[in-house]
Structure 1
Amino acid sequence: MTTDELTRLATLYYVDGLTQEDLSKQFSLSRAKIGRLLKRAQEEGIVEIRVRHHPRDTRDLERELIDRFGIEKAIVSVNHKDQDKQRELLAGLVASHLDRILTNDMIVAVGIGRNINAISEHAISSTQRSPTFVCAIGGFYRGGEVMNADHISRRLAARFGGGSETLYAPALVGDPAVREGLLHNDAVKPTLDKARRAHIALVGVGDINEDSIMVRNGWFSPDEIAELRKCGAVGDLMGYHFIDIAGRPVVTPVRDRVIGLGMEDLKRIPNVIAVASENTKTTAVLGALRAGVITTLATTEAIAQSIVSLEDATRNPLSTQSEMATR
């Protein structure tokens, strides 16, 4: 059966509501064969099945995050014991949110990482529109598609409609002087300027881990990660903007070698959607929230609950000291 025929079969079953018995008669195939073809449609990506949790399950937690941190929206997925499935669940929620808010002529600045890539993989839309997905950081071939904003932008444009704009520069260069030259290059500057004018930014939140994707891809050595920890860094935004638990920047030499949006650029974008699905990122997400950059936080139920507890634990001692000082 060709792809077109398989798509028609799946449409009749999942959209039009025909039974397998109906399809068996219509296609002159056994019910067992129909069942195998429907399974094949899922395996080939023609059909994607999602289970959506009821908003009531996480609504109170989302409201708690909004009230505590002054963000505009929180998207919280229910917990899943499998990390890959957890990432998929959250990505599906973010993709659905984007489908609701994207309009014609919007600009979306696109970051890198497994969570941002997952959004592009799980986006589904039947709405025609013309947004532009533009790279917020240069390319990094060694890391594959999850470290390549151009790949992610192209897939988002294919899923949601519109177009994508490539940033014709590497993500990381060896010399700050080279970076300075590229920032003013005619092939680079217009794209970064467009990313700065974005209505939405999709960014990942990273943790400080010797086994992080940035270490594996050679951006940082384990020794540099250890030094970052000594300096108080708990996480990062976009892979290279390091922050401490209070949301203050932790300056590193690598920041002057990256071709991408800066923290001040992100602060000027109306809707910065930060995504984190890994349980190791609780402290990083808290620091990112306190940095005042995030507009929409997308995370898991477990991380959200831990953030609330950690925020209480790290805020109360400061409050107590302040009260004692005024006595």
Structure 2
Amino acid sequence: MDAVDELLSIRAAELYYEENLTQDEIGRALRITRWKVGRLLTQARDEGFIRIEIRHSRARRVALERRLRHERGLLDAVVVSRAGVESEDELQRRVAQAAADYLTDLRPVPRLLGVSWGRTLSQVAAQLREGWSAGTSVVQLNGGASVNDRGAAAATAVGIAHKGGGQATLLPIPAILERRETKEAIEADRVVASVLRQAADADAYLFSAGAADARSVHVASGYLDDADIARLTRRGAVGDVVGRYVDADGDIVDPDLDARTVGYPLDALRGAPVTIAVTAGTAKHAVTRAMVASGLCKILITDESTALHLLGGGPDGE
């Protein structure tokens, strides 16, 4: 584009987007044809002189979604805009709302949904509308009972199930036990074993991921302390998925800890056809990358900065 066309493109864009003139009116003002006005507006966008941004809490970045599907091999992706977001809490609420919308529109409707727990999924349960489904039951994927937060995991599963016209099957035992023998004995119990078998029969799985830092729900719930997190990060942990700590390749970093963790195994999750991960915020960039790269999720619902991180920080193409 030469200097004359560049100036005309900028002037045409100003008149079109800021003065709300039609292309015919711009053509008369600039003494050019309306066809050239259209070409100049296209050039202005292609050259990056203008950028259209939809500022709404439910706005999505469609180009990033398309790139994630194409370049990262995802079955589907939902990318929430960060425009106007002033805090990480607000961003988490936006992503949770997007996840609630996605569940509502999911076809075929899952008759049985496997659900993990945590702050993000608690927000998803809160954002779901009554009647989002006409008969979806929920099975809890991993233990969640703790001394510090007795009802969070159960409340998430029950909330999603009741709003979807179904029943919730809970796993009311700790997420992590002190001894491997205790965990093995509990999972061999007839009632607990039946819950885990039911989890294996789910039509779809909904889960989030936690960063390997002191803000982890495992620390808040009393399962781990800061020293445990420091030890896990030294071993390469980037975060936890369904309560299991993984490295950048999605592999378990501490086999002993994993052997004391109650719930659905990650290898089984990789083999499931519909796995929906919901993540938000910069702290979860590394664990989200690990999930996508290792096939732990086939559908990702996240924010645009996380999407750009997964795509190498390049432009969104739109």
Q: TM-score, normalised by structure 1?
A: 0.73
Q: For 2:208, what is the secondary structure of its paired residue?
A: strand
Structure 2 distance, partners of 1:233, 1:127, is 36
Structure 1 distance, partners of 2:234, 2:81, is 34
78, 81, 97: which is aligned to 1:78?
A: 81
Match of 1:40 in 2: none
128, 135, 157: which is aligned to 2:140?
A: 135
Post-superposition, which runs of at least 4 consecutive aligned residues in structure 1 deviate over 3 A?
51-55, 102-105, 125-128
Match of 1:190 in 2: 194
Q: Does the Cα contact within 8 Å between 2:114 and 2:138 map onto a contact in 1?
A: yes
Is the deviation greater in 158-167 or in 245-254?
A: 245-254
Shift of 1:217: 2.3
Residue identity in the other structure for 2:241 = L
94, 101, 109: which is aligned to 1:96?
A: 101
286, 306, 309: which is aligned to 2:309?
A: 306
Match of 2:33 in 1: none
Structure 1 distance, partners of 2:98, 2:290, is 23
Matched, 1:112 2:111: no
Query: Which structure has the bigger radius of gyration?
Result: 2
RMSD: 2.2
CA offsets 1:26-63 (integer angstroms, 9 cap, x no match): xxxxxxxxxxxxxxxxxxxxxxxxx55444xx111111
Q: 1:122 and 1:128, CA in 2 relative to 1: closer, same or farther beyond 3 A?
A: closer
Shift of 1:249: 2.7
CA offsets 1:66-97 (integer angstroms, 9 cap, x no match): 12221101111111222222111111111111
Structure 2 distance, partners of 1:237, 1:164, is 21
Residue identity in the other structure for 1:254 = L
Match of 1:255 in 2: 258
Matched, 1:204 2:172: no
214, 217, 240: which is aligned to 1:213?
A: 217
Structure 2 distance, partners of 1:91, 1:81, is 16
- Count, aligned residues: 258
Residue identity in the other structure for 2:149 = G
Shift of 1:310: 6.3
Unaligned runs of 5+ in 1: 1-50, 312-327
174, 187, 193: which is aligned to 2:178?
A: 174
Q: For 1:61, what is the secondary structure of its paired residue?
A: helix
Residue identity in the other structure for 2:98 = L
Residue identity in the other structure for 1:156 = I
Unaligned runs of 5+ in 2: 1-55
Matches within 5 A, 1:1-327: 53-55=58-60, 58-79=61-82, 80-101=85-106, 106-126=111-131, 129-144=134-149, 148-239=152-243, 241-309=244-312
Q: Does the Cα contact within 8 Å between 1:244 and 1:250 map onto a contact in 2?
A: yes
Greater fraction of residues in helix? 1
Q: For 2:190, what is the secondary structure of its paired residue?
A: coil
Q: For 1:219, what is the secondary structure of its paired residue?
A: coil
Structure 2 distance, partners of 1:128, 1:309, is 37
Structure 1 distance, partners of 2:149, 2:307, is 29
CA offsets 1:172-200 (integer angstroms, 9 cap, x no match): 22211111111111111111111111111
Shift of 1:170: 2.7
